[in-house]
Structure 1
């Protein structure tokens, strides 16, 4: 439920940014590292928001997977120690 609410919030922010961006159709020049392009603000806002969202999800996913791996190793070690304790007792 928590993740659904977070996703709903992200979608709402994206929709609000699209509404604000669509009301302003001014063309701006965006300088890339190696290129330059002229884009409407709404398009540039949507592209950059989407790229940021995807990068954020990838970074959080990497840390989540790392945490799951550490947790599984810890559970395995606890199980091994419990078995040793049961053998001794």
Structure 2
């Protein structure tokens, strides 16, 4: 549910940026390192917003995957330790 709300909020912000850009049909000059280009403001706003959104999702997916891997490895270690303790408890009961 939370991800749905975030997605709707992001879509709303993108839509507002497009409306703002559509009302401002100015030409914007963008200077690159070696070149320069002139673009309409709505195109620049939409492109920058989408690129920022995609880059942030890439970082989020990387960190989530790293955390899931760490959790999986911790659970494997925990299961191994639990199996060892049950084996030790079984052996000690047999000896007693």
Corresponding position of 1:25: 25
Give the TM-score taking structure 1 as reference length. 0.96
How far apart in 1 are the matches of 2:71 and 2:16? 39
Instruction: Summarize the alignment of residues 10-49 of structure 1 with structure 2, pairs less than 5 Å apart.
Output: 10-49=10-49
Asked whether 1:66 is paired with 2:53, we answer no
- Residue in 2 that maps onto 1:57: 57
- Unaligned runs of at least 5 residues, structure 2: 90-96
Structure-2 separation of matches of 1:53 and 1:33: 23
Please tell me whether Structure 1 or Structure 2 has the larger radius of gyration of its CA atoms: 2
Q: What is the CA RMSD across the aligned residues, in angstroms?
A: 0.7
What is the CA distance between 1:35 and its match in structure 2? 1.9
Q: CA deviation at 1:31?
A: 1.0
Establish whether residue 87 from structure 1 lines up as the match of residue 84 from structure 2: no
Which SS does the other structure have where 2:33 is aligned?
coil
Q: TM-score, normalised by structure 2?
A: 0.90
Q: How many residues align?
A: 89
Q: Which stretches in structure 1 are left out of the alignment for 5+ residues?
A: none
